[in-house]
Amino acid sequence: MSFEPHPLLGQPLREALKALDACGKRDVRVLWTAAPPRKNAADDPRCEAGEQQGAASTRVVGVRDDGDTLIVSRFLTGNPKEPSLPNSSDISGF
């Protein structure tokens, strides 16, 4: 007996939705889970802002009903974007 994991598992949510859309599935239900557990939700970068900063990534952790339902969670990436430094020509007085 062999087990083939669903090809959407581990994929970023946006990529999974694009793949399903390409297959004609447009009415996809997305269920959020808090896994892995968060110790202090107020300080946790696993939020929309954290994702925009590159500190988190929303990934598919479960697939139900052949892709009609995706279970997703936001994981830390450990790679937040560095704040952009001004161009050296923009710095005056140095």
* Structure confidence by residue, pLDDT tens digits, 54-89: 778 889 999 998 889 999 998 877 766 655 545 544
pLDDT computed for residue 91 by the predictor = 47
Of residues 31 and 1, which shows the higher confidence score?
31
> Of 11-15, 50-54, 72-76, which one has max mean pLDDT?
11-15
pTM of the predicted protein model: 0.68
Of residues 34 and 80, which shows the higher confidence score?
34
Sequence-distant (6+) residues with CB within 8 A of 10 are 59, 60, 61
Q: Are strands 56-64 and 29-32 parallel, antiparallel or unpaired?
A: unpaired
Identify the band that residue 29 occupies on the pLDDT scale cut at 50, 70 and 90.
very high
Please list, residue by residue across 33-55, b when 16 or more beta carbons sit within 10 angstroms of its beta carbon and e when fewer do.
eeeeeeeeeeeeebeeebbebeb
